Structure 1
Amino acid sequence: MMKKVVIALLCVTLGSTLYAGDIFTSKTFIGLEVGYAEVQGDVGHMEGDMVVIEPDFKGDNDVEFGVKIGAQNDQWRTTFIFDYYDSSDNDQNIEKGYLTLDYFVLEKESTVRPYIGVNVGYANYESSYVDDSGFLYGGQAGIVLEAGEMINIDLGYRYTLSDADALDHIGSIVFGVHYMF
């Protein structure tokens, strides 16, 4: 399972560098993110001697954490993100690896820069009596605040669908801090 995730993310990351035409004008960054996510996925429980799976269980909201690495220039940002979501209330956890591509709507001279983007990735979803993996795809929008020459702050919304049978979608409000180098 982990081998599939690593290979898929490595292929996506290496593939994205092929079209990064002006790589020498890009700034590289690392960052952390924290978000509040709503997950819709299957959960299971025991009724007597039988396992009962509740499809598309709704209402699981909790905090997710992530690390980022990426590059950006005046118009585009490409980011690799690894997020972890764990809800003890409904015994759901998700490990997600994303590759995101964002387009900055305003020019570099602005301190606040809105963006729109797409994301692709892979996730492992686990819950009581449920263990499933699948590809992710979706979009995001938000704003980046230039807090200095080396620091920017990101606030956005990411909506992601999954092709896994047990995981339908994830919606996250995400706050991130990036250190540019």
Structure 2
Amino acid sequence: MPAINDQALDQLFREARTFNHYTDEPVAESDLHAIWDLMKMAPTSANQMPARLVWCVSQESKAKLAACATGTNGEKILAAPVSVVIGMDTEFHEYLPELFPHVDAKSWFTGNAELRQASAFRNSTLQGAYFIMAARALGLGTGPMSGFDAGAVDKAFFADQPSVHANFISTLGHGDVSTLHERLPRPAFEKFNRIA
């Protein structure tokens, strides 16, 4: 498989930024579908796919989500074209006969709530990262955040799905590059890595 070119690497990693402000350019519903169609193809353990997304596009739904946020996150949620709840379904194993049909993977998790919780958190976090990368690949920006009351988000958005819980939130739109601050430092390989 050939390496992707420098322009793509810049867009996905080297020049990509986290956004707190967006332009007025709208995000179409087709963009949301396009993000999902990319992120769903990325790997999760045993194809678990525990992420459950709520795409808040109306002011009403964004206001409901903003009410669950802390600090200035509420303002960011309200101002963004779209705000997204990345949730995790701890009963993801119920779908494994469909998503991982060649072995009885459901039995690995049946009766083991602790394992399901750990797997749902780990793999929905992966899917949240894939969401960010898919959005970048499609020319959109994101603003992931963890400053919110998870219980309040669960009550507001997942009351009818008691096995689904909020993992994190992200805003989504066409990032306003004029509002970006200087890029924060990134460490050299030797600082946080070792080859064993």
How high is the TM-score relative to the length of structure 2? Answer: 0.30
Higher relative helix content: 2
Under a length normalisation based on structure 1, what TM-score does the superposition of the two structures give?
A: 0.31
